[in-house]
Amino acid sequence: MASTMLSLVSAALPLQENHKGKMNLGSSDCSSFLRKEKRNPFMKTKSFGRINMAIAVNTSRFEGVTMAPPDPILGVSEAFRADNSEMKLNLGVGAYRTEELQPYVLNVVKKAENLMLERGENKEYLPIEGLAAFNKVTAELLFGAGNPVIEQQRVATVQGLSGTGSLRLAAALIERYFPGAKVLISSPTWGNHKNIFNDARVPWSEYRYYDPKTVGLDFDGMISDIKAAPEGSFVLLHGCAHNPTGIDPTPEQWEKIADVIQEKNHIPFFDVAYQGFASGSLDADASSVRLFAARGMELLVAQSYSKNLGLYAERIGAINVVCSSADAAARVKSQLKRIARPMYSNPPIHGARIVANVVGDPALFNEWKEEMELMAGRIKNVRQKLFDSLSAKDKCGKDWSFILKQIGMFSFTGLSKVQSENMTNKWHVYMTKDGRISLAGLSLAKCEYLADAIIDSFHCVS
Ligand code: KET
């Protein structure tokens, strides 16, 4: 315990008797030391006969540090673990589970890891920008091999600590080179976006996205808010499978969004965390990004392999900055490296090698696509079963068809905060308080139970 620590301050100091016969510290140097000590709220001095002692009391230097609230997404998993109910269901975090609700390691990942073991690869530091083979394939997966932006070397790709770390690198770049520029984010968006820009000291504001009346996209609101933003703002867009709503613009709407962004001289900034999880096709899910790139626009794209390769804990992703010249791309890359070096020095190698092996090998790549389709297919099946169960059980005849229109890992149920709390407190269904459920954590067997919980929360709690 800190409180047991005693320091004998006076032991080495000259002592002098005062007129009452007590011993006191004599030198002026010494009394100034004590004066300083008295100003320190964590130190108290006490006189024990001939010796003055400084006692560190049981008060922490971190007294001013308040308790942080649990994370709205990852905190849900912590609460889930603490629940002993047999019925409990974790639909909080967007992490794929099997039909048996077990975590899933993709076969192609196991194969790639076996290859890596066989080769006996070393654990030397990577360059700051990451594994070259990874950076090459990740840009190709995103833009399509042979895309002019790659051929003309106009993409600055730097391996990042998954999607989050890549977004954070880009945020730091914006803060450094576009001081005062605003990032526009959708309302609602993935909860961590705001944290990322706040921590990077990048100002942000929201554009309308979700319309609760239609449980669909507020396209007109989105367009007018992007138009109204100061020229040269960054517009954060979810490349596919918008989180949390599961609502994506149509191809025609993407074209119009690109028109407005171009008109206003804004810079599109894509967050691609679910490539392959929206449609089951890696190419189709990159079409929004490719459409913008094909217009010759400069843009940023943060990528993540947490979901589509199930590499959550490997922290593997990338930031890509498409520039109008190879020269600009080289300079941007050099600055991204400069930002990364004091933050985390260089990125981890294991996940990068897995991605390089899977995406870079035609046989493994094809196998991955099949597994990807299986995962996306399982989610589509539970989405359908949940809709069927809700429609069959809901005696009030509410239209639940919006669930079928949403895509990706999530469904945005429209449940309010108190209704979501009822889902957890009464039904042991763990979900985020914005009404989002991760269908990736749901099995066909649990759909009926979930439908009962949703109907009860929706109709009986207000
Ligand atoms: N962008 C979006 C839109 C996103 O949903 C996530 C993760 C990320 C980026 C970052 O993931 P990373 O593992 O850093 O590559 N979302 C899930 C997990 C989380 O909140 O961290 C989620 O929404 O459940």
pLDDT of res. 39: 54
Helix (H, G, I), strand (E, B) or coil at 389: helix
Please provide the average confidence, as pLDDT, over all residues in the chain.
90
* CA atoms of 407 and 405, how far apart (whole Å): 7
When pLDDT is cut at 50, 70 and 90, the band that residue 416 belongs to is very high
Mutate which of 164, 169, 275, 300 to test ligand 1's pocket (most atoms within 8 Å of Cβ)? 164
When pLDDT is cut at 50, 70 and 90, the band that residue 214 belongs to is confident
116-131 pLDDT, tens per residue? 999 999 999 999 999 9
When pLDDT is cut at 50, 70 and 90, the band that residue 28 belongs to is very low
In contact, 240 and 288? CB cutoff 8 Å: yes
Please determine, for residue 68, whether its predicted confidence score (pLDDT) is greater than 90.
yes
* CA atoms of 298 and 7, how far apart (whole Å): 62
- Does the Cβ of 162 fall within 6 Å of ligand 1? yes
pLDDT of res. 280: 87
- Does the Cβ of 347 fall within 6 Å of ligand 1? no
Q: Is the Cα torsion angle 329, 334, 338, 344 positive or negative in sign?
A: positive
Q: In the annotation, is 271 catalytic? A: yes
Q: In the annotation, is 307 catalytic? A: yes
Distance 190 CA to ligand 1 centre (A): 7
Q: In the chain, what's the furthest Cα-to-Cα distance?
A: 95
When pLDDT is cut at 50, 70 and 90, the band that residue 26 belongs to is very low
Mean pLDDT of 129-141: 98
pLDDT of res. 245: 95
258 Cβ contact partners less than 8 Å away, ≥ 6 residues apart: 268, 291, 292, 295, 297
* CA atoms of 69 and 234, how far apart (whole Å): 29
- Nearest Cα to 280, choosing from 374, 395, 357? 374
DSSP string, 310-366: --GGG-EEEEEEE-SSHHHHHHHHHHHHHHHHHHHSS--SHHHHHHHHHHHSHHHHH
Mean pLDDT of 384-405: 94
Mean pLDDT of 175-183: 97
Can you read off the two tokens belonging to residue 190? Answer: 């993935």
* CA atoms of 73 and 156, how far apart (whole Å): 31
Please determine, for residue 11, whether its predicted confidence score (pLDDT) is greater than 50.
no
86 Cβ contact partners less than 8 Å away, ≥ 6 residues apart: none
pLDDT of res. 53: 63
